[in-house]
Structure 1
C-alpha cells in the first residue's frame, strides 16, 4: 500500500484529531501543512524500513506474541556508548529479547538533565554516547537479531537550552508560543489546584524566567519547559521529529509524560481528553508514513485512567492510540503482595487488565529506572479497603527495611512519612542484599523469580530492567557524585557488571528467566491476563494461554487446586513452595 493510499484511508482519523485540538485554526491550511510533511518524510524512508512496514502491516499483532520479551537500559550504564551497546546484542538475544528500550538516548541539557529526560535536541544523540550514524548501525544490528529499538520521545517538555527555548528566551514570537507563560497571580492560582511531581527537589509547577516576562510552566523540573500543545505548530514540530527518528531506524517510541500534555484551568491537568487526541493524531500520522512503528504510553496513572491510552470510540469508530501501555499498577501490586504476603491486590489488577482492544498489549515489568510510585494503586485499593493509604504506608515501610524486613529499599522524595515512592533494585528490594546465609539467599532468589513470573505470566511484553538478570544490588555510590546526589533514583541505576553474570545468583536468575520465557512460549500465552481462583489468600492464579500459573506470595507452602505437571521443573506437583511459582501444563 502506497503512502497516498494510506493517507486516503487513515487521513480522516488524523484530521479528526486536528479538528478536536485546534477548532479555532484554519483547518484546511493545517491539514495541507501536515500532509505535505507526511509526503516529504515518506519519500525519505529507507527501502529496508519500507519493507518492514509492509511486513508488519501484514501481521499487525506481531508484538502480541508469547516470545515478545523486552529489555530496558541506559546506554552508558550498559555499554558505555551506542557502539558498546551494539557489542552486547548477543547477550540480549540469549535472553530472548525482541524489544530493546534505550533510555535517554537523545541529546540532553547541559548539566542536570533529569537523567537525560530534559531533551535539548530531538534529532541528535547525546554526544558522549555516539552519533546518529551509530544509532542507525545499532538499529540494523538489532533488526538482524529480530529486536526492535525503542527510544524516549519527551512530549510534555523540552530542556530550557533546546533551540526552541533559546529562541523563545531571545524574543522570537514564533517559538515563544511553543511554551506557556503566566503572571504571578495565575501561577499562584494554578499551583493551588495542581499536584507536585517532585515536591522535595522541585516544588511547584512554575519557574520565573525574566526573559520570558513571567513564569514558565514547568511540571517537572525548572529546566524542563512544558510545551504549549494548544499551538498546532508544536504538534507539527514534534510529529516531524518523530517521523525523522523513525526513518533513522527507531521502531518504537516511549511517549514520556503523556498524561500531562494538555493544560486546562480548574483541573489537575492530567489525563484530559485532549492529551489522548494528541497521541491519536501522532499515531495516525505514523501509521501513514511509518506503520512499523510502535507507540508506548508512559502513563503512570491509576488503573481506571489507563484504558483510553489504548484508544476508544468517540462516535466515529474505534480510534487506536498506543500499541503498548505500561501496566504500572501490576508492578506496584507485586511489591505490595510481597510485603503483605497476600495476593489480593495483584488479583484485582489482573482482573482489571483484561479487555484489551485488538492490536494492543501491556508492557509489564518487575522494576524499571523509576521509583515504585505507591499512589498508582490507591484507587484500586479503595474498592477493597477502607484505609488504603495506611495499607500502602505499611507496605512501603516494609520495603524500606523496617523491623525484621529483608527488603532494602529507600524512600523517594520523602522521609518515609509521606506516601510517595520507593527506590531500589529488584535484587535489593527482594532481599538479596540483606541475605546473610544460603537459606536467606534462596528465599530472595525465589522472590526475584516470583516477580519476574508475575510480569511474564500476565501476558504483556515483559521487560527486564538492566542488571536485574544479574541480580545487581543498590548502588549507594551515587550519593558521592554532586551531579547525582539529589536524585535518589540513581540508587537503582548501577553500571552493568558484566563479571556478575557468572555469579551463582546471576546464573540462577537468568536460568529462571529463560525457563519462564520457554514456558510462556509453550503455553501460547500473550496479551491480556485472566485471573483464576486459588482458594488461598497468598496464592495468585493466572491463566496464560493453555496453562495455569500459580504464584505464591507467602512464606509457607500452599497447595495448588489440582495436581499437574510443572513446566518449570518437569515434575508433577501438588503444592507451590514458599515464594514459589508453579506453571501447570494444560492436560498434563
Structure 2
C-alpha cells in the first residue's frame, strides 16, 4: 500500500492532509473501479494532487489555511451570492471587474459566473457545452483576465464560482475530436452503442428536453454507432466507468482552482453514472465520484467549495451533502441548490397558500456540519415544476393538477398579474416556466400605483423566502434592479429556439438608480441585515401558523413571517420587526415581518 505516512511538522501542509484524507479518497476509488485497479490509480491520483498543491499561489495557500481553520465560513449569516453571465453583466471578464463595486454595495460574498469557459462553436446550450475546460470563451477574455478578477474579488471577500460540467463535453472538445478521429484512448471517454441498444435504452429512460432534444443517444458515423447524449446531441456524455476520465477531470478541476476559482458548480451531477435497467439518475456511484472529487479538493485546494446542481425532489437531495457509511461521515458537496424551495415560493404566490413552502422548509432541516443550501428566488434556468411533484404528492392527492394550475397562473391565465412563458411546452403539459423575477411577480403587468406596490411586495416576499431560509441566498443578475422579460432574443437566430433567454436580459446599468430598483435593493439589504442580527444561517426551521397563507420560518434567534396572500393576515402574537423597527401584530397583503425572538 502506498498511503503516505503522517509527515513531520516541517513538511508541507498538503502532506498532512494527504495522509489524513487518503483513506476517504481511496475508498471512493475502490468502490468505483475495484480493488485490482486501486493501487496504480491511487499512485496517479496522489501525483496529481501533489503537483497541483505545489503549483498553488501563495495567496491561495493562505486562503486554504484560513478556511481549514474556519470550515463553516460559507455558512455565516452575512453570506449573499450573485449569479450572472459575463456578457450579460459586463460584456467581458474585464467588464465584470469594473462593476465589482456594484456587488460590494449589495453585500455579495459569492459570485457565480455562468458559462464562462470556452464553449463549442454554434449552439452550445447557453455555453454549457464546453469545448475547453481550461480556456475562457474568447469573446469574454482570457484566463489571465480571470486571475485578475479573482484577485480583485478576494480583496472584496467575494469567492468566484465557475461551472464544471462533469456529465458531458461538447462534441468539439479535444477529447471528442480525438475519439472521432479513431483514438481508442479517447473513444473510451464516451459511450457508444448500436442502434438497437440505443432504442432499447431510450424506451426506459426519461428525457430532459423532450421538445428541443428528444432521446438520449445521437448517431455519430465516425464513432461507429450511437453516442450517449442525455442533454443535447452536441453534448457527449462522459464514461465515468473509465478511470482515465476521473483522472482527467481531477487534473482539470485542480488546474481551475489554481487559477483562482473558489467554487465549482457541478453541472448535472445526478446523471453521471449510467446503468442499464435504471433511469440513470441519482445512482450511488454518482455520489462516489463527487465524494472522490471532494476528498481531492480537501487535500490539494481546501479553500474550494463544491456545489451540486441536483434538480431532484427534496427527498433525493441529502445524499449530495454526504452520508454516514459506517466508518464515519463521508462529505460530498458543501452546497446544494434548494430548487424545491424556489419552485414552492412561486406555487405559494399562485395559490395564495403557504402549504408547499412550509413542507419544503420542514424537509430542509437536519443538514450535516460543513454543509449549506444555496437558496434563490430565481436563476438562469426555468422554474421546473416537476421537481416538486414528489414533495407535493405527500400532501395532495392530485399534485400534477395543482402544479398545472400554478403554472397557468404564472403564464398569465385569467386575472393573473404574472407574465411568465411556458418552457418546453405549449402550456398544455407540465414542464417549466420562464420569466424574470420582476415579470413573474407582476411588475411588468403593473399599470397603476397599487399594482406596482403589490408587485414590489411580492418581489420582497420571494427574496425573503430565500434569505430567511438560512442558505447561501443568491440573486440572479438584474433581479436586484427589477429587470423585466427581454424578448429581444427572438430576433437572434442563435437564441430564438431557447426560451430561457427571456429571463437572461443584459444588465441595464441605469436601472439600479430607478425608484423601483432602489426599493428592491433596499429590501434585500434590510433582509440581509436582519439575518446577520439574528445569527441565522444553515438549515431553516418550519414554524406552524394559524393561517394557511402565512409561512413562518425560524432563522437564528428570530421568526420570519411571510404572507402569501392578497389579503391582510394577523400574527398569532405581536412582536418587534427588525425590518421596520415597529411592533407588528398583522401583515398587509403580500407582507412580511422579521420578528425578534422565536415563535412560541
Q: TM-score range by the shorter chain?
A: over 0.9
Partner Cα separation in structure 2 for residue 506 and residue 145 of structure 1: 23
The answer to whether residue 55 in structure 2 is matched with residue 44 in structure 1 is: yes
Which of the numbers 310, 315, 335 marks the counterpart of 1:299? 310
Alignment of 1:482-501 (within 5 A): 482-501=493-512
Match for residue 8 of structure 2?
A: none
- TM-score, length-normalised on structure 2? 0.97
Which of the numbers 471, 474, 480 marks the counterpart of 1:460? 471
Partner Cα separation in structure 2 for residue 117 and residue 314 of structure 1: 33
Alignment of 1:40-439 (within 5 A): 40-439=51-450
Residue 74 of structure 2 aligns to a residue whose secondary structure is: coil
- Aligned-pair distance for 1:534? 1.4
Partner Cα separation in structure 1 for residue 305 and residue 587 of structure 2: 38
Partner deviation per Cα, 1:87-122 (whole Å, 9 max, x = no partner): 111100110100000000000001110000000000
Match for residue 547 of structure 2?
A: 536
Partner deviation per Cα, 1:201-229 (whole Å, 9 max, x = no partner): 10000000000000000000000000000
- Aligned-pair distance for 1:445? 0.3
The answer to whether residue 453 in structure 2 is matched with residue 442 in structure 1 is: yes
- Aligned-pair distance for 1:281? 0.1
Backbone CA RMSD of aligned residues: 0.9
The answer to whether residue 14 in structure 2 is matched with residue 14 in structure 1 is: no
Match for residue 492 of structure 2?
A: 481
Structure 1 gap segments, 5+ residues each: none
Partner deviation per Cα, 1:458-490 (whole Å, 9 max, x = no partner): 000000000000000000111111000000000
Match for residue 560 of structure 2?
A: 549
Residue 114 of structure 1 aligns to a residue whose secondary structure is: coil
- Aligned-pair distance for 1:313? 1.4
Residue 507 of structure 1 aligns to a residue whose secondary structure is: helix
**CA 1:148–1:571 in 2, change beyond 3 Å: closer, same or farther?**
same
Asked whether the 8 Å contact 2:434–2:503 carries over to 1, the reply is yes
Which of the numbers 527, 545, 553 marks the counterpart of 2:538? 527
After TM superposition, the runs of 4+ consecutive aligned structure 1 residues lying more than 4 A away are none
Asked whether the 8 Å contact 2:574–2:585 carries over to 1, the reply is yes
Residue 63 of structure 1 aligns to a residue whose secondary structure is: helix
The answer to whether residue 45 in structure 2 is matched with residue 31 in structure 1 is: no
- TM-score, length-normalised on structure 1? 0.99
Partner Cα separation in structure 1 for residue 592 and residue 245 of structure 2: 48
Partner Cα separation in structure 2 for residue 66 and residue 391 of structure 1: 35
Partner deviation per Cα, 1:560-579 (whole Å, 9 max, x = no partner): 11111111111111101110
- Aligned-pair distance for 1:2? 1.2
Match for residue 592 of structure 2?
A: 581
Match for residue 7 of structure 2?
A: none
Partner deviation per Cα, 1:272-331 (whole Å, 9 max, x = no partner): 000000000000001000000000000000111000000001222100000000000000
